[in-house]
Amino acid sequence: MDADTPSRIERLCIDRGLKMTGQRRLIARVLSEADDHPDVEELYRRALALDARVSIATVYRTVRLLEEKGILERHDFGGSRARYEPTEHGHHHHLIDVDTGRVIEFEDEAHEAVMQAIAARLGFELVGHRLEMFGRRVEPAPPPPVPSKARRG
Amino acid sequence: MDADTPSRIERLCIDRGLKMTGQRRLIARVLSEADDHPDVEELYRRALALDARVSIATVYRTVRLLEEKGILERHDFGGSRARYEPTEHGHHHHLIDVDTGRVIEFEDEAHEAVMQAIAARLGFELVGHRLEMFGRRVEPAPPPPVPSKARRG
DNA sequence: TTAGGTGCAAAGGATTTGCGGAATT
DNA sequence: AATTCCGCAAATCCTTTGCACCTAA
């Protein structure tokens, strides 16, 4: 993606009337190019690699702002820090590979339907829900010698 | 529950060979009597009310120990601190009332089945999962003057 | 007796914030 | 020009820990 072309997230920011500074543009670009679920530390690292004129405080502030604007979603995948991803593709959930830490996204209509049904049964209107599954690959090749970084929250 | 009768949690601790100190007995009792999902601060408060000889550090240590032993489950309901509940009744999940903060527990076989199916479809063996729903009570009375509820993402 | 638990206060890690200077509309 | 933002460092919040003392087994 060209550095001068407004990134997808930058466009969203503009649409919502946010003042676009150099650092916001930068962070928006990093977010737009991410296809994973980075934490603030990681976003900061990626942003720094493109332009050193950012502070981690600004990344925190921006990420928070974008979450409030509905542009970003915050997740808790069990680690100690929050991880973010752009709100875009329809409602989906996450399967975390407990051996590698890799996050697989998925959506499932049956599941959505069940959610609605459960809420209704309990007398509630569903305004949101969150699902994380933790799994282990079924009979993969013998696991690599990479020590799993078991971080606890 | 009599203060001298071992609480349910205390029994579990004994079964797992944990050294039972006065503070552990106390915390075990508080946990056994809780039917909600208190955070450490709250557990500490309740314990203090029964016996002042506890420190919050011990509550933190105990809660962590019991979680490692599988006696407690830690939850993240969106607030800033972790909340705990005894591991007991079968696998269940939580519906958080977004207006009152109240937590409703439920279990649902259909949902469990769907979980398994999703994991299998993705080539994983399910080792755990976490589900939280956020909802709002549906009132039987006619809807308020504001007709359309703008769906927020 | 001895491994392990406890209290206190200090340390830690993630995130927020006050403030003076700087950039955007 | 007015408003909002940024960087820095200090502050917060929740949680963990080092250390000296205490206690269950």
In this prediction, residue A118 has a pLDDT band, given cuts at 50, 70 and 90, of: very high
pTM for the model: 0.75
Contact B127 A98 (CB under 8 A): yes
Share of chain B above pLDDT 70, in %: 87
Q: Is B91 annotated as a binding residue?
A: yes
Q: Specify the pLDDT at position B149.
A: 31
Which residue ranges does chain A devote to CATH 3.30.1490.190?
A: 92-139
Is the confidence at residue A113, as pLDDT, over 60? yes
In this prediction, residue A5 has a pLDDT band, given cuts at 50, 70 and 90, of: confident
Is the confidence at residue A80, as pLDDT, over 50? yes
Which residue ranges does chain B devote to CATH 1.10.10.10?
A: 1-90
A107 touches chain B (CB under 8 A): no
Contact B133 A126 (CB under 8 A): yes
Smallest CA–CA separation between B123 and chain A, in Å? 6
Strand C positions within 7 A of protein Cβ atoms? 4-10, 13-18, 23-25
Give, as one character, the DSSP assignment of residue B79.
S
Q: How many CA atoms lie within 13 A of B20 on its CB side?
A: 15
Q: Is A85 exposed, middle or buried, given 0-12, 13-18 or 19+ CB atoms closer than 10 A? A: buried
Is the confidence at residue B60, as pLDDT, over 80? yes
Which residues have C-beta within 8 Å of that of residue A58, sequence separation ≥ 6?
A23, A27
Smallest CA–CA separation between B100 and chain A, in Å? 13
Smallest CA–CA separation between A89 and chain B, in Å? 11
Which residues from chain A sit within 8 angstroms of residue B129, using beta carbons? 131-134
One CATH from 3.30.70.870, 3.10.20.30, 3.30.420.40, 1.10.10.10 for B1-90: 1.10.10.10
Q: What is the mean pLDDT of residues B100-113?
A: 84
The alpha-helical segments, DSSP class H, found in B3-150 are: 8-15, 22-33, 40-50, 56-68, 109-121
A103-106 and A93-97 strand pairing: antiparallel
Q: Is A116 exposed, middle or buried, given 0-12, 13-18 or 19+ CB atoms closer than 10 A? A: middle
Residues of the binding site of A for Fe cation: 91, 112, 129
Which residues from chain A sit within 8 angstroms of residue B109, using beta carbons? none
A82 touches chain B (CB under 8 A): no
Share of chain B above pLDDT 90, in %: 55
Is the CATH number 3.30.1490.190 carried by domain B92-139?
A: yes
